[in-house]
């Protein structure tokens, strides 16, 4: 076999970077669990001994952890002082839970990917799916934690205002269903922002609904129900929302068809989906890389584990999503907003 040495060296360079990323993913979750990033935030330069004392951990482990973080660019290192520092930008990504760019949840969900790998391998070989209900618990926590910062930053400030007349309805008092709500972060953000409206969070995963109910205490205008997207109870909704959920569903057409029946004639479906172009070539970029991998690990197996098993995937793209919405009964679909990670589609009857 003839090898192009230049191409081989370039590929090996990529693989070294991949191995480093995979090794450090575990260290990121260790740092989060032990509060290492939070202890460094705003504290200036710290030695391994100082950080160990502040976090009740062992210095030798932290010396190696900090060195790995510095080699990754996750913390800064000053050779003159032999100390480490978490910059404001690094803190926003790793230490500040309310930051719109906090990425810890993505690393947390990776733990479930590796824990569930035997199930995934079996599905690849024999078909079928890996149901959401069969995933490791850290998948649910990590997924919510990954998406929540973006929802907090954009949902009330940008996404809802991009819909025609919806904010005015919410301010007066509307009935809203949040379908596929998971832990209920999106539902609670809206309920807190619009106290005159009533919100129903709906998800087929019982444990997630129990978690959402726990966090909803004190909010009188929100309730949560365990139900499927294609047959949940209720009608006369002014707004139905789906956040990063439709592509995971086994029967997305059936789900959108049921949503269409549940809406008022002038009601709106707000569909938030991962950002994607309509072709593979459009998505061969860093964000597409993350979402295709997440789709293979999580989204497609989840859909194939349900009836119909449409398996849209996390990179379905606007054209395919519009086709699903049209088949479900929505005649008008437009992209009303977007971020580097999400597209927002407004669908009307």
DSSP notation for 318-339: HHHHHHHHHHTT--EEEEEEE-
Claim: this prediction has a pTM higher than 0.75: yes
User: Considering only CA atoms, which of 317, 344, 347, 318 is closest in space to residue 330?
Assistant: 347
Cross-strand bridge partners of residue 77 = 84
Q: How far is CA 101 from the centre of its chain?
A: 12
Residue with tokens 């990504």: 93
What is the rounded distance in angstroms from the CA atom of residue 25 to the CA atom of residue 185? 25
Q: Which two tokens stand for residue 293?
A: 């991998």
What is the rounded distance in angstroms from the CA atom of residue 262 to the CA atom of residue 27? 46
Q: Are residues 90 and 206 in the same domain?
A: no
CATH code of the domain containing 85: 1.10.10.10
Local structure of 173: helix, strand or coil: coil
Q: Which two tokens stand for residue 330?
A: 């929505």
Q: Are residues 197 and 330 in the same domain?
A: yes
CB–CB of 22/73 below 8 Å? Answer: no
**Domain-located, residue 199:** yes
Paired sense of beta strands 332-338 and 222-226, if any: unpaired
The per-residue pLDDT for 137 is 87
> How many domains, in total, are found in the chain?
2
Write out pLDDT tens, residues 282-322.
Answer: 999 999 999 999 999 999 999 999 999 999 999 999 999 99
Q: Which two tokens stand for residue 341?
A: 């990670």
Residue with tokens 């260290």: 27
Domain extent at residue 49: 5-94
**Cα–Cα–Cα angle for 27, 30, 32, nearest 5°?**
110
The per-residue pLDDT for 98 is 86
The per-residue pLDDT for 193 is 98
Helix (H) or strand (E) holding 300: helix 300-304
The per-residue pLDDT for 246 is 98
What parts of the chain have a pLDDT lower than 50? none
Q: Are residues 161 and 90 in the same domain?
A: no
Domain boundary residue, one of 63, 78, 94: 94
Q: Are residues 56 and 195 in the same domain?
A: no
> Phi and psi (nearest 5°) for 130?
-120, 100
């Amino acid at each position: 076999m003839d090898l192009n040495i230049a191409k081989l060296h370039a590929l090996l360079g990529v693989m070294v970077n991949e191995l480093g990323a995979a090794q450090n993913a575990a260290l990121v979750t260790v740092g989060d669990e032990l509060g290492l990033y939070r202890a460094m935030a705003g504290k200036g330069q710290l030695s391994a001994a100082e950080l160990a004392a502040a976090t009740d951990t062992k210095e030798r482990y932290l010396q190696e952890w900090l060195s790995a973080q510095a080699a990754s660019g996750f913390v800064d290192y000053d050779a003159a002082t032999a100390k480490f520092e978490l910059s404001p930008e690094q803190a926003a990504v790793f230490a500040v839970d309310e930051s719109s760019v906090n990425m810890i949840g993505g690393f947390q969900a990776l733990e479930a990917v590796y824990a569930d790998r035997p199930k995934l391998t079996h599905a690849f070989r024999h078909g079928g799916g890996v149901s959401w209900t069969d995933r490791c618990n850290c998948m649910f926590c990590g997924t919510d934690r990954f998406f929540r910062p973006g929802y907090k930053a954009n949902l009330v400030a940008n996404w809802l205002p991009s819909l025609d007349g919806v904010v005015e309805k919410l301010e007066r008092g509307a009935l809203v269903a949040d379908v596929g709500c998971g832990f209920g972060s999106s539902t609670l953000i809206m309920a807190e922002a619009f106290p005159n409206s009533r919100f129903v969070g709906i998800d087929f995963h019982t444990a997630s609904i129990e978690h959402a109910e726990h966090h909803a205490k004190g909010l009188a205008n929100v309730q949560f129900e365990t139900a499927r997207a294609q047959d949940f109870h209720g009608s006369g909704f002014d707004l139905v929302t789906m956040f990063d959920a439709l592509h995971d569903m086994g029967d997305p057409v059936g789900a959108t068809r049921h949503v269409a029946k549940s809406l008022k004639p002038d009601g709106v479906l707000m569909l938030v989906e991962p950002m994607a172009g309509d072709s593979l070539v459009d998505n061969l970029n860093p964000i597409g890389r993350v979402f295709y991998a997440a789709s293979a690990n999580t989204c497609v197996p989840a859909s194939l584990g349900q009836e119909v098993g449409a398996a849209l995937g996390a990179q379905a793209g606007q054209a395919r999503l519009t086709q699903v919405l049209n088949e479900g009964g929505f005649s008008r679909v437009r992209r009303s907003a977007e971020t580097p990670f999400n597209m927002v589609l407004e669908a009307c009857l």
